[in-house]
Structure 1
Amino acid sequence: MQEKLEEVLLLQMDYTSLNTPAMARRGALIRREIAEELREWLPGLETVAGIGPLAVEGRDATGPKSLIPWTRVYSSQRSPSATVGWYVVYLFSAHGDRVCLSLNQGTTTWNGGAYVPRAVPGLLRRVDWARGLLSLPEADTEGWTKTIQLDGGANKLGLGYQTGNVMAREYALDAIPADDVLEADLRRAVAWLGSVYRAMDSALNVPGEAGPEVADAELAVDISAGNRRRRTGNGFRLTTEEKNAIELRAVSVATDQLIRDGYTVRDVGATRAYDLHARRGDENLVVEVKGTTSPGEIIILTRNEVTLHLERYPNNALAVVHSIKLDRNARPPVASDGVLVYEHPWAVDEERLTPISYRYETGLGD
């Protein structure tokens, strides 16, 4: 392992975006040889992580050869791609002077045509969240660093990796340790990764992640479609009782506000494609209510809800009650607080809608 890391760094000094013999050799090391060595360590790594099976992959190109290649250790359930979730990764500096073993995260998103960097403030909030989980005494982090330098200049991927780093160990080209030290360091990093994964599995809200209602809706779609690849964690994040408590709290907050505004309000959520019917004089509103424990950046809408509000505009409204507090220890669960954001009339912006599934007629019944 030591020799292979050194060879990649030496090849970095001959970097080009073209598939030259040097870059072809670099690719073989990143994607195959280093990955194979790491797979031999997986049984021990899985033991210290304590979160189920781990996988290894290396990448050195998406089109042109990447300036900063990498090989990562990850859970395929929790991080199905390098743009999603958390992982431990070897990042090779642009100038070949160092390789960083980093507890890191997805720092880009794919927009259908290119990888777009995630916003720095959001990445930093996630870094702070992850570091808070580790509760690291100084003795446990000796030799580790919270900042890394990949010498990528203005390279967006390199800057993203540097921002997204939680904890890292840097190895200079002339000081890469023996394999037993490399494996021990990797175990330490993977143990931290396990802590992050366990928190992800149980936390209601994680900075930069979809709220639990959104995650559960997407998981339900995946299960319905028989798609296991995108599933993360150990299952649904909210129980039926918890969902009901959040929904009831949101409806209560929205109803109270509408009453203060002079409306007569009826809860019609059990029988209609909207939640509240609000009447004030000759004004009749259909009101969609969404509750979430998250900051509310994303909500789930059904096809019927979208169709109805497109048809009923401008006699419609959207009430999002975000940052609801949920006491999961109470029986039944109790939801409280929440911040109401109210939009009336609500013009559904179809450019903000993202389909998460399609119904397809196979023709088998013809």
Structure 2
Amino acid sequence: MSLNEIIHDIRAGWAAYRAEGTVSKAHPEYTRVVRDFRRELELHIGAGRSYRIEGSTGKGNITSAPWVATFDRSVTNSATQGFYLVYLFSVDLRRLYLSLAFGTTQFGEYFTNVQERHLALRAAAAHVGALIHPGRNLHFEPLDLAAEPRDRMHFDYEQSSIVAIGYDLDALPDDAHLVTDYVFMLELYRDLVANPLLPNLQQLLEAEIAPAAVQAEPNVKLFEPRAPRRAKGSGSGNGRYRLSKESKKVGDAGEQIVFDYEIQKVRQLGFDETEVRWLARDGETPGWDITSLNAAGETIYIEVKASVGSEINGLLITAKEWAAAFEHGPRYHIYLVTDALKTTPAIEIIEGPAALEDLGHLAAKTAVWALDLAPPTADR
């Protein structure tokens, strides 16, 4: 079957399939979306390219309209993460878009208000879209998927598009035209991924998230080694490692949370709160951000690593920080601050990281250490 025929068949059979309510792998419509569409696209991705193609009619309940996505494995393996190339059918089955689009799940985690979420998606799309040269009837505006708020996913998909080519399903181009467009958008995707100016999704999220006023004391606990994870292929693009320095907004928020916590802790211990110094705020970079006191009144040296996410499983430590960790031993602490821009952040404290033998794989001895807090199992 050609791409044109598959799209026509999906359109013709979707209404009857959707009326069944729940996903049926035995249904021909499921086969067209999940298997046939994928197999046809796989013929055109080129040899040696690390792409994964996935079609979906929903999870459990049938979705408002089907989609078929192409994931660059160096960016993402999932429709909830990163950005990817995706065919999106409109809910009324009048239009089809081939779109470079963001996964909307991460935006939904931080922006529960629909209007705020859509504004954030459009701001992120505009930022990335500015790296793309206009042409070839490229569409940089929100999509028209005929979605309503009850069509939650497609309602968000309308705003998550960075750039797209649109088709009228009553006048769908021939197969040669469709394939040419797909290859063109695939190359655009590849070039965008390789662009050194491309921000990662976390940076785009951080740019739109206003730091929240902390309304509750952070949940503080000592570091517990993560359970080993199964080793996966490289390039998942899921942001598990903090391979670049956190943005100033997130870093400042994390340090503010730790500073406020240490002030309260030192007060409760009966010591002078002026002993707590926020060195980083004053432009001092000795290899830690904050100096405070422990329960014995001894000076401790705190390096803060912050994230907008709810978990940090990997981070980088500079040579200066690592040297300070060895110099100060158990009194050098790393504070992992998660949910740093939310009202209820958390702090996990690594005491004396230099002595923890199960942490860390050397990335570059003269530059940085990469600390893996959830090391892979031995079965690589």
What TM bracket, shorter-length normalisation? 0.5 to 0.7
8 Å Cα contact 2:94-2:169 kept in structure 1: yes
Q: Any idea what the Cα deviations from partners look like across 1:259-299, whole Å, max 9, x if unmatched? A: xx8437699xxxxx9962359xx98785744256x8x6778
| d(CA) in 2 for partners of 1:200, 1:12 | 41
Identity of aligned residues (%): 17
1:130 counterpart residue number: 128
2:318 counterpart residue number: none
Unaligned runs of 5+ in 2: 208-225, 264-272, 280-287, 315-332, 349-372
1:228 counterpart residue number: 233
TM-score by length of 1: 0.59
**SS state of the match for residue 203, structure 2?**
coil
| d(CA) in 2 for partners of 1:222, 1:230 | 21
1:177 counterpart residue number: 173
8 Å Cα contact 2:140-2:164 kept in structure 1: yes
| d(CA) in 1 for partners of 2:228, 2:196 | 20
**SS state of the match for residue 104, structure 1?**
strand
1:13 counterpart residue number: 15
1:42 aligns with 2:45: yes
**SS state of the match for residue 190, structure 2?**
helix
Amino acid at match of 2:60: G
Q: Any idea what the Cα deviations from partners look like across 1:168-191, whole Å, max 9, x if unmatched? A: 122112211111111111122222
| d(CA) in 1 for partners of 2:24, 2:275 | 74
2:54 counterpart residue number: 57
1:84 aligns with 2:87: no
CA 1:199–1:233: 2 relative to 1, 3 Å: farther
1:95 aligns with 2:98: no
| d(CA) in 2 for partners of 1:266, 1:93 | 53
CA 1:151–1:63: 2 relative to 1, 3 Å: same
8 Å Cα contact 1:202-1:237 kept in structure 2: no
**SS state of the match for residue 171, structure 1?**
strand
Amino acid at match of 1:68: A
| d(CA) in 2 for partners of 1:19, 1:291 | 44
**SS state of the match for residue 192, structure 1?**
helix
Amino acid at match of 1:123: L
1:190 aligns with 2:186: yes
1:151 aligns with 2:146: yes
Q: Any idea what the Cα deviations from partners look like across 1:47-66, whole Å, max 9, x if unmatched? A: xxxxx411211111200111
2:204 counterpart residue number: 207
> How much has 1:18 moved relative to structure 2?
2.6
> How much has 1:124 moved relative to structure 2?
2.2
Amino acid at match of 1:276: T
8 Å Cα contact 1:274-1:286 kept in structure 2: no
2:137 counterpart residue number: 142
**RMSD across aligned positions (CA):** 5.3
Amino acid at match of 1:153: E
1:120 aligns with 2:118: yes
1:24 counterpart residue number: 27
CA 1:232–1:19: 2 relative to 1, 3 Å: closer
CA 1:277–1:147: 2 relative to 1, 3 Å: closer
8 Å Cα contact 1:11-1:22 kept in structure 2: no
CA 1:232–1:145: 2 relative to 1, 3 Å: closer
CA 1:207–1:99: 2 relative to 1, 3 Å: same
| Map 1:60-75 → 2, pairs under 5 A | 60-75=57-72
Aligned residues: 281
Q: Any idea what the Cα deviations from partners look like across 1:311-337, whole Å, max 9, x if unmatched? A: xxxxx99798xxxxxxxxxxxxxxxxx
CA 1:11–1:285: 2 relative to 1, 3 Å: farther
8 Å Cα contact 2:192-2:198 kept in structure 1: no
Q: Any idea what the Cα deviations from partners look like across 1:55-105, whole Å, max 9, x if unmatched? A: 211111200111111111111342111101111111112222121111112
Unaligned runs of 5+ in 1: 47-51, 211-220, 268-272, 303-315, 321-339, 351-355, 361-366
| d(CA) in 1 for partners of 2:28, 2:334 | 59
**SS state of the match for residue 67, structure 1?**
coil
> How much has 1:144 moved relative to structure 2?
3.3
**SS state of the match for residue 79, structure 1?**
coil
| d(CA) in 2 for partners of 1:264, 1:152 | 53
**SS state of the match for residue 126, structure 2?**
helix
CA 1:63–1:291: 2 relative to 1, 3 Å: closer
> How much has 1:208 moved relative to structure 2?
2.4
TM-score by length of 2: 0.57
| d(CA) in 2 for partners of 1:147, 1:111 | 17
**SS state of the match for residue 66, structure 2?**
strand
